[in-house]
Amino acid sequence: MDLSFNCRLFAFILIALAIFAADDSKWNKRKLTTVSCGNNCSYIKAEGQSDILHYLFSGKPAMSILSIKTDTNGKLLINTKFSPPQIKVDPDKSFLYAFGIVFDKLIEYNDSKNTANIEKYDPAEWKNYSTAMEIVSNKQDSVVFFKSYSTDNVPRNITFSFWNFADNSRQDILPHLIVTSNSSLMNLVINNVKPSFSTSRFALAATYISHGNSRFSIKSEKSLDDEYSPGTFEVANWLAVSNNHNSFWQWKPVSYFGTPRSTMTSTYVKSYKLNTNFSRLPENPSLAYSFFTEMGDYNMSSNILSFGLTDDKFYDRNNYTAWSATFGYGIPPAETVSTLAIAIISVGLGIPALLFVGGGIYLCLKRRRNDYEPVFGTISS
Ligand SMILES: *[C@@H]1O[C@H](CO)[C@@H](O)[C@H](O)[C@H]1NC(C)=O
Ligand SMILES: *[C@@H]1O[C@H](CO)[C@@H](O)[C@H](O)[C@H]1NC(C)=O
Ligand SMILES: *[C@@H]1O[C@H](CO)[C@@H](O)[C@H](O)[C@H]1NC(C)=O
Ligand SMILES: *[C@@H]1O[C@H](CO)[C@@H](O)[C@H](O)[C@H]1NC(C)=O
Ligand SMILES: *[C@@H]1O[C@H](CO)[C@@H](O)[C@H](O)[C@H]1NC(C)=O
Ligand SMILES: *[C@@H]1O[C@H](CO)[C@@H](O)[C@H](O)[C@H]1NC(C)=O
Ligand SMILES: *[C@@H]1O[C@H](CO)[C@@H](O)[C@H](O)[C@H]1NC(C)=O
Ligand SMILES: *[C@@H]1O[C@H](CO)[C@@H](O)[C@H](O)[C@H]1NC(C)=O
């Protein structure tokens, strides 16, 4: 048997496996760049191999995001003389799909009956907060918006932050959402804003707009494993399904009333019945809304997400509410088997693999030693 050939084959298999592993991680990478798009507007371009994702995050006159997918020749013409800016895709035919999210307003309601259900109260008694925001920080892959509500010298504010990613990963912080090169992460924090009621809770009213003849739904999926967000066995997906394109807004129904985020500081996020009745949808001057109005051919849906759970002691217990979500193109990422389960499976697969690698190296080294034996033999004889 020709052992040297086997060693080459063995080395070849190892190198092939290494290339396969390395290649796999580069698969979806995008190049991110940021430029301003006018008054409190940030444009993050995510260039991939087969398409470009253009993300616009605009804080004036109302917080919204607009995301446009073009082929690799697509550019945006941005007229910053207007606020929100006017956006044109150039050339027209590079346009593939677009979706937008308008954060219509934040609502504080007096949950005197401790129901954690905003529909139990008359909208005329809500306290509505505008989401007009200013940029406080803007990096290559992220942008932070904020609005101060401080009347004393204590910081009180509402912030919206957004991140894009070159690659796929899972967030380090709770609730450990999955992000991909085709999605963005958002974070909403109500930071020490003075409550108007001792039994206050907050809620977010939002409108999701999608190009083409889009059908919307909110689907909750049970996840088998809650290792990543203890106590949370659910993932909510607000889906837009149009002709050939899909987009999604994904979150776990969990928000936090304190830092650091933990099971001890977590509470519930409730969503309501999706409103797709056009005539009742809010029309507002945000960037996403103005882009689609100009372009035509879109559908919208709106909903409210409210933060809190009966008997969780209300916003006032800490004067803090934080919530994270992701939104992006295609099918929302599905919760997969946890690392713990993977670790257990890997041990099962890993031992044979170690035996293979270890055994191969041993055999090859042994073979090399054997090669020299006759030489030593000659010298010693
Ligand atoms: C954001 O808006 C504020 C006030 O409206 C303005 O002073 C500031 O220059 C704007 N910042 C950017 C980066 O556009
Ligand atoms: C708050 O907004 C709702 C619509 O979402 C409206 O019906 C209500 O009157 C507003 N409340 C106040 C106090 O302005
Ligand atoms: C992201 O989109 C690109 C092109 O549209 C696709 O090839 C890739 O598989 C997508 N990545 C993920 C993680 O969905
Ligand atoms: C917002 O308020 C928090 C405290 O409530 C403070 O730590 C933070 O610095 C404020 N953010 C900005 C941008 O001022
Ligand atoms: C909150 O609602 C309760 C019950 O209706 C009422 O007694 C209380 O005055 C309200 N609080 C404020 C600040 O309006
Ligand atoms: C989308 O909007 C158009 C125009 O308003 C309407 O005719 C169509 O039925 C809507 N599509 C869906 C799936 O709701
Ligand atoms: C849609 O909204 C209009 C105007 O507000 C209303 O008259 C109509 O009943 C609504 N339709 C449904 C199905 O709720
Ligand atoms: C939250 O704010 C209210 C009003 O300013 C205050 O009465 C309450 O003590 C605050 N809660 C905490 C935990 O600081």
What is the chain's pLDDT, residue by residue, as a tens digit (381 residues)? Answer: 454 556 666 666 566 555 555 444 445 689 999 999 999 999 999 999 999 999 999 999 999 999 999 999 999 999 999 999 999 999 999 999 999 999 999 999 999 999 999 999 999 999 999 999 999 999 999 999 999 999 999 999 999 999 999 888 888 888 989 999 999 999 999 999 999 999 999 999 999 999 999 999 999 887 655 555 555 678 999 999 998 999 999 999 999 999 999 989 999 999 999 999 876 556 678 999 999 999 999 999 999 999 999 999 999 999 999 999 999 999 999 876 555 555 555 555 555 566 666 666 666 666 655 544 443 434 333
What pLDDT is recorded for position 24? 46
**Amino acid making up residue 287:** L
What pLDDT is recorded for position 165? 92
Spacing, Cα 135 to ligand 1 middle (Å): 7
Spacing, Cα 151 to ligand 4 middle (Å): 13
Spacing, Cα 213 to ligand 6 middle (Å): 6
Ligand 1 site-directed mutation target among 39, 136, 287, most atoms within 8 Å of CB: 39
Q: Whose CA is nearest to atom 12 of ligand 8?
A: 318
What pLDDT is recorded for position 379? 39
What pLDDT is recorded for position 25? 47
Spacing, Cα 147 to ligand 4 middle (Å): 10
Six-digit token string for 252? 């776990």
94 by Cβ neighbours in 10 Å (0-12 / 13-18 / 19+) ranks as: middle
What pLDDT is recorded for position 107? 98
Spacing, Cα 214 to ligand 6 middle (Å): 7
Collect all residues with Cβ–Cβ distance below 8 Å to 302 and sequence separation of at least 6: 104, 205, 206, 207, 208, 274, 275, 281, 282
Ligand 7 site-directed mutation target among 272, 280, 302, most atoms within 8 Å of CB: 280
Shortest-distance ligand to the CA of residue 149:
4
Shortest-distance ligand to the CA of residue 189:
4
**In whole angstroms, how far apart are CA 92 and each of 58, 96, 110, 295, 376?**
23, 9, 48, 11, 77
Does the beta carbon of 277 sit less than 6 angstroms from any atom of ligand 3? no
The strand pair at 142-148 and 320-329 is best described as unpaired
Q: Whose CA is nearest to atom 7 of ligand 1?
A: 134
What pLDDT is recorded for position 27? 54
The strand pair at 215-222 and 200-211 is best described as unpaired
**In whole angstroms, how far apart are CA 94 and each of 73, 89, 90, 101, 204?**
6, 7, 7, 22, 34
Q: Whose CA is nearest to atom 11 of ligand 3?
A: 28
What pLDDT is recorded for position 261? 94
What pLDDT is recorded for position 234? 87
First-last CA distance in the chain: 28
Contact 87, 66 (CB under 8 A): yes
What pLDDT is recorded for position 381? 34
Does the beta carbon of 181 sit less than 6 angstroms from any atom of ligand 3? yes
Q: Whose CA is nearest to atom 5 of ligand 5?
A: 112
